[in-house]
Chains A and B, each alone.
Chain A
Amino acid sequence: MSVLERQQEAGYATRSPVINDFSLVVATANGTGSQTANLTLLRSFFKLGIPVHGKNIFPSNIQGLPTWYHIRVSHKGYIARKTSEILVAFNPATAAEDVRELPAGGVCVYNADLKNLPQRDDLIYYPVPVNELIAGVEVPVKRKPYIANMAYVGVLAWMLALPLEVVEEALGAQFGYRQKLIESNLQVVRRAHEWATQNLRKQDPYRLEPMNKTEGLIIMTGNEAGALGAVFGGVSVAAWYPITPSTSFMDALREFLPKLRKDPGGHPTYAVIQAEDELAAAGIVMGAGWAGARALTATSGPGISLMAEFVSYGYFAEIPAVIWDIQRVGPSTGLPTRTSQGDVSFAYTLGHGDTKHPVLFPSSIEECFEFGWKSLDLAEQLQTPVFVLSDLDLGMNNWMGRPFDYPDRPLERGKVLDAAQLEALGGFARYKDVDGDGIPYRTLPGTPHPLAAYFTRGSGHNEQAQYSERAQDYERLMARLAHKFTTARSLVPEPAVELHPSAKVGIIAYGTTRYAIEEARDRLARQLPTSFLRLRALPMGQAVREFVAAHERVYVIELNRDGQLHSILQNEMPEYAARLFSVAHLDGLPLTAEWVQKRLLQEEARLR
């Protein structure tokens, strides 16, 4: 039986069309160059004006292990992960399992060379005769496997009614001005499209129609957005040790800085150092921050572990530093290429002794940019290490966003005394709370005044920065640091609050779980109306307490096993501990709206 006949027998053509609302997953082996094809699809949908988001679920491997690229297309603007109705089966190793996971009525676009593909009666199959389609395309042998992926782009373009000129435009965005590459790729897309038109009959209901919902928007990864934010925040020293998934943050920083940050004489206004390990990366940042640079590092969980000693130092000796933690799954090496929110409690109190640190939670590329510059301000204002907790999903995937707002205020450099001020004051005490906010004054090395110098140490010190083991000195210092942390509550970004007038139930979440939660709230709008507080930073301020006070039950939803923020909030608000409930989950994948919806209803049934 021919493909066409088999499909006619399956008889799905009668279903009503599903327009701009589906999720597709491309299953390939790592290192086969499918990323270009996948980003071409993503950009094509974006250029059609349809809200779209792509998630790369990839292995910790250079070549060979399975990788899945999920693309969600939604006219309503939902971009959370969702079960895919369309599968592109191009990886022999996972094809059987991938096919089994499709829901009834799903579509399987498969490489015609795949052997033993499970045949399900409730699916629609479209073959892609890859070898036939790439035969005769003029391209170096080395690049053959790369352009082979364009074959599924062509078949999908046919299936979804994606105009080829949009694909061409998207390819242009991928390859820039490398016309030859665009041509050879496009040739395969066109052939596949033509072959499908002649040999396949559309049986599935999914298709695209142009919209105008992406007009004026940009597409970028969170790591790029954060790095760009740092460039506009005046970062001048950056040090790092390579680690997935933070590496692309530093790659972006090193790409952007030379383009945007030269002085009038053409000299760089920055230095970026690849350190020998995360200990040294943190040390370079501390040294630079101490001497007056705007310094940052980017890392992930294992790096945070190594940085603990310097973060403890920075807290105690009061040195500005910014640490981006692009969270991946722990403990230990964990799942290096999977996403999580597992470092929240660790980062918040990192270090031996009594330590606590401001932690910012970006949830979008706009917030990555915003916190990129704000974190550098906060670190100098508060003279302390500041964490930005992003995650692999946000950091490494492409997201739509509004073009970023230019910083709405000048650089905040904090309390730094220069020689003239020292002269007027007749000196200063490095660790004295002069203004009542817990934040002391500092001087920078190189300040030309005999009273500028002080001695920085991680050992006990008095207000004059002299070595001290006196009980009173220590206690007073630690009390002031605690008071400084109270000041931080009013300086860190406010939460984003959506109050529902009749909701008895509230949700608190942070970071990228917002997308699944927003979709789930819409689905639950009648059955279970909820208010939503999206926390943007710790330490929490009064707004969080008021939100909890205004609801009977508040679910803290997060992507970790133990409900880390839930515990922190219970500690911060013991009077409301009994109305805070943890809804936590971690399997390495971003949350889905289905899961959030189901769990909330279960919890409600249990508690109400």
Chain B
Amino acid sequence: MENPLTSERTPLKLNTVGLSKKDYDGAPSTLCKGCGHNSISSQIVQVGYELNLRPHELIKLSGIGCSSKSPAYFLGMSHGFNALHGRMPSVATGALLANHTLKAIGVSGDGDTGSIGMGQFKHLMRRNVRMVYIVENNGVYGLTKGQFSATAEEGLELKYAGHNEFPPIDLCMEAIVAGCGFVARSFAGDAKQVRELLKAALSFRGTALLDIISPCVTFNNEDDSPKSYGYGTKHEKPLHELGFIPYAEEIQIAPMEPGELRTVRLHDGSLISLRNLDSDYDPTHKLAALERLQRAQETGEFITGLIYYNPDRPSLAEVEELHTPLAQLPPEQLRPGRESLEAFLQAYR
């Protein structure tokens, strides 16, 4: 069968399933230029190509928000489901019960996961549904023009939202506590680390959380606070009144060494501190992982890398003892025979 997407591009290099990197693209992004989310989409495309994924064997899902729009912008030959705000986990659970042989990438944001979807997020982890769950975390509500999300720093000042009175929710900690066995944090601009984590996450037996710091180019601030998402003085008006969103490049950083502390300058000149985990860090201890996250929060750093790893818990499909995908069962396995109805009703006579 001729592949309509590759047939006219003979010079392109094909992977072992006969697809070029372009075949893993989606529709053109409608997010702001320079948005960290676009960097993550690019890495998903790259990883799909490098892992020789068959696009039809994967589904992509999301909730609502800027991040949740992004599944339209990668893996155009995979089925996609842009769900309701905070409800992607339940949809993914259902879809992967119907066909547990599918791979799945879910994309969510800090509002979608940390606020409206917190319950479903934690129950997804608890059930260990086999999928990659990416949070594109920028600490701010972009589509509704710059309110705090639940992951924003305590004490943060934003021009639109004011002063943040409440402590941040650390989604990695929440995931660990809920029973997730693959918990990683990264930075959208660290292409190599994002790719490596994505590849590992795709082969994990249960839910794999990637909490990826993904700077918002439009609703940022210009002070030097450790986590400097915010609201720029140049762009104080709500987005729908903005006549001009300045063009920005996606931030990319060189790969980090183990244990390295790197300060990265964001679009507005603010700084973020990333700390790559030490090479001798042991991610298999739950309490140590929680402690490490707590310490990082106290010092204003974001540790990046695989923070917690435990492959021992069975996935939901394993718990349910699923065999043939439920969506592919033949009619005779879905409807018992006439005689079994008659026999069953005997007990009710």
Residues A211-268 near B (CB distance < 8 A): 216-220, 228, 231-234, 236-237, 239, 256, 259-261, 263, 265, 267-268
Q: Is B345 an interface residue (CB 8 A)?
A: yes
> B299: CB under 8 A from chain A?
no
| B329 lies within 8 A of A288 (CB) | no
Give A228 to B336 CA distance when docked, in angstroms.
11
- B169 within 8 A of partner (CB): no
Asked if B84 contacts A411 (CB within 8 A), the reply is no
Q: Are A406 and B99 in contact (CB under 8 A)?
A: no
A282 CB to closest chain B CB, in angstroms? 8
CB–CB A283/B83 < 8 A: yes
B4 touches A445 (CB 8 A): no
Q: Name B54's closest neighbour in chain A (CB-CB).
A: A448
A288 lies within 8 A of B345 (CB): no
On chain A, the residues within 8 Å of B331 by CB distance are: 234, 410-411
Taking the closest CB of chain A, its distance from the CB of B94, in whole angstroms, is 3
CB–CB B93/A283 < 8 A: yes
The yes or no answer to B265 lying at the interface (CB within 8 A) is no
How far is it, in angstroms, between the C-alpha of A228 and the C-alpha of B348 when the chains are bound? 12
Within 8 Å of chain A (Cβ to Cβ): is B81?
yes
Q: Verify if B31 is at the interface (C-beta below 8 Å from A).
A: no
Task: Tell whether, in the assembled complex, residue A423 and residue B79 are in contact, meaning their CB atoms are under 8 Å apart.
Answer: no
Residue among B5, B77, B93 with the most chain A CB within 10 A? B93
Partner of A280, one of B78, B123, B322: B123
CB-based contact A445/B79 at 8 Å:
yes
Output the nearest chain A residue to B81 by Cβ-Cβ distance.
Answer: A456
Whether, in the assembled complex, A357 has its beta carbon less than 8 Å from a beta carbon of chain B, the answer is no
Chain B hits for A310, CB < 8 A: 84, 87
Complex contacts, B57 vs chain A, CB 8 Å: 446
Smallest beta-carbon distance B164→chain A, Å: 27
Contact with B along A437-465 (1 / 0, CB 8 A): 00000011111111111111111000000
**Number of A-B pairs whose CB atoms are under 8 Å?**
225
Docked CA distance A452–B72 (Å) = 15
> Nearest-CB distance from A308 to chain B (Å)?
11
Whether the pair A287, B348 counts as a contact (CB closer than 8 A) is no
User: What is the 8 Å Cβ interface bit string for chain A, positions 398-432, against chain B (1 contact, 0 not)?
Assistant: 00000110110011000000000001000000000
By the criterion CB–CB under 8 Å, are A294 and B323 in contact? no
The reply to whether B120 and A276 form a contact with Cβ atoms under 8 Å apart is: yes
Task: Tell me the bound Cα distance from A280 to B124 in angstroms.
Answer: 10
Are B348 and A234 in contact, with the CB atoms below 8 A? no
Residue A51 CB within 8 A of the other chain: no
Which residues in window 309-349 of B have CB below 8 A to A? 320-329, 331, 333-336, 338, 340-342, 344-345, 348-349
A280, A407, A452: which contacts B90 (Cβ < 8 A)?
A280
Expressed in whole angstroms, the Cα–Cα distance for A282 and B89 within the complex equals: 12
B91 at the interface (CB under 8 A from A): yes
Q: Are B5 and A293 in contact (CB under 8 A)?
A: no
Chain A residues whose CB sits within 8 angstroms of the CB of B95 once the complex forms: 287-288, 290-291, 445
Min CB–CB distance B220 → chain A (angstroms):
26
- Whether, in the assembled complex, A197 has its beta carbon less than 8 Å from a beta carbon of chain B, the answer is no
Contact surface of A with B, Cβ cutoff 8 Å: 216-220, 228, 231-234, 236-237, 239, 256, 259-261, 263, 265, 267-271, 273, 275-277, 279-295, 309-310, 313, 373, 403-404, 406-407, 410-411, 423, 443-459, 466-467
